[in-house]
Amino acid sequence: MTKKLLEVKNLRTYFHTFKGTVKAVDDVSFWVDEGEILAIVGESGGGKSVTGFSVIRLIEEPGRIESGEILFEGKDLMGLSESQMNRVRGKDISMIFQDPMTSLNPVYTIGQQIEETLILHTDLSPKERKAASIELLRSVGISNPESRLKAYPHQFSGGMRQRVIIAIALAADPKLIIADEPTTALDVTIQAQILRLMAELVRGKGRSLILVTHDLAVVSEMADRINVMYCGKVVESGPTRDVIDRSAHPYTKGLIGSIPDLERDKNRLETIKGIVPNMFDLPKGCKFAPRCTRAKEICHVQEPEVINMSQSHQVACHFPFREEVL
């Protein structure tokens, strides 16, 4: 029986702006097992990143975590003070950001930035820290790590920087890593490399990963389970194969349909009709109803309950696709 490493219950993160309140994350619950890769997918503005940042409580003004529990190894992170939280960040849970070009501080060397994490979260001596930094750089595939320690971020390419960021995220050997669209800003040719590297490192050490992405193709290869998010809600969740092969929510179907497929001879790429609604003015009932081909009257009025498709496969839809329909 695997143990739950992280369990998020009824998380609500709202942004209070001049124009009104944005419910970026609205009553979201999910969990991550030890050694598991969980993917959170959805379109831009669906609340995926905010969910990731909420877990380590890095929500900046005007955002606020309104309510919810974030249980990490059974301990509620919401109850920790800021300085207690700083001992969790980077040590127990670390994060990899979307844009490697801006995530590293331009005025510190690579070595200093790796070492900073080691100073904060380990008891290593200066000599051991240097050795550990070199080892970390080597593990993420950077050649000549000794000489790279003194280099500055601007001397590195985007792919190399993301490798450095992964090295920093792994430095204190955290139990959970949250990767927020780690490959979106990289060249296509490098994306696969970086993802494979991350998966290897995480699996090799038996650590857990939350992979936030909009790329279902990537996810289907790597993840154990998938959460599909739309407008701040989890609309479908379950094991990867269930969600991909037996998707129940029309939104998930749409996402899968819009993956380009070079082998099939299609003239046009399928898309999901319409755009993500204005977050200040969300539709009543099911948030996806205005774009949904299967929507009936009830969808515009009443928010769908979460229903079990199987023991591990949940969907929030009034009219989910059932096996027999296929």
Partner 1 sequence: MFRFIVKRLIQLVLVLFVVSLIVFVFTSVMGNPVYLMVRENATEAEIQAVVQYLGLDKPLPVQYGIFLKNALHGNFGKSYMYHLPALGLIMERFPATLEIVVVALLLSASLGIPLGVLSGAYPKSKFSQGVMAFSIAGISMPSFWIGMVMIFFFSLYLGVLPVSGRGDVGTILGINTSLATVNGWQHIILPSITLALGNVATIIRLTRSGMQENMRQDYVRFARAKGVPRRKVLFGHALKNTLIPVVTIFGLQMGSLIAFTTITETIFAWPGMGKLLIDAINIAARPIIAAYILFVAVMFVFINFIVDILYVFIDPRIDLQ
The residues binding partner 1 (CB under 8 A) are 56, 58, 60-61, 82-83, 86-91, 94-95, 97, 99, 102-109, 116-117, 120-121, 152, 154, 165, 168
Least gap, CB of 119 to partner 1 (angstroms): 10
Kindly tell me which of 97 and 321 has the beta carbon lying closer to partner 1: 97
225: β partners: 38, 239
Name the DSSP class of 276: P
Kindly tell me which of 27 and 116 has the beta carbon lying closer to partner 1: 116
Least gap, CB of 284 to partner 1 (angstroms): 34
| Residue environment code for 137-155, b if the CB has 16+ CB neighbours within 10 A, otherwise e | bebbebeebeebbebbbee
How far is residue 30's CA from residue 237's CA, in Å, rounded to a whole number?
9
Type and span of the H or E element at 253: helix 250-257
Least gap, CB of 93 to partner 1 (angstroms): 9
Least gap, CB of 303 to partner 1 (angstroms): 33
Provide the 10 A C-beta neighbour count for residue 8: 21
Kindly tell me which of 179 and 309 has the beta carbon lying closer to partner 1: 179
Kindly tell me which of 82 and 263 has the beta carbon lying closer to partner 1: 82
Kindly tell me which of 182 and 320 has the beta carbon lying closer to partner 1: 182
Least gap, CB of 304 to partner 1 (angstroms): 34
Pairing of strands 4-17, 75-76: unpaired
Kindly tell me which of 104 and 228 has the beta carbon lying closer to partner 1: 104
Pairing of strands 63-72, 4-17: antiparallel
Burial group, residue 72, by CB count within 10 angstroms (0-12, 13-18, 19+)? buried
Burial group, residue 73, by CB count within 10 angstroms (0-12, 13-18, 19+)? middle
Least gap, CB of 42 to partner 1 (angstroms): 21
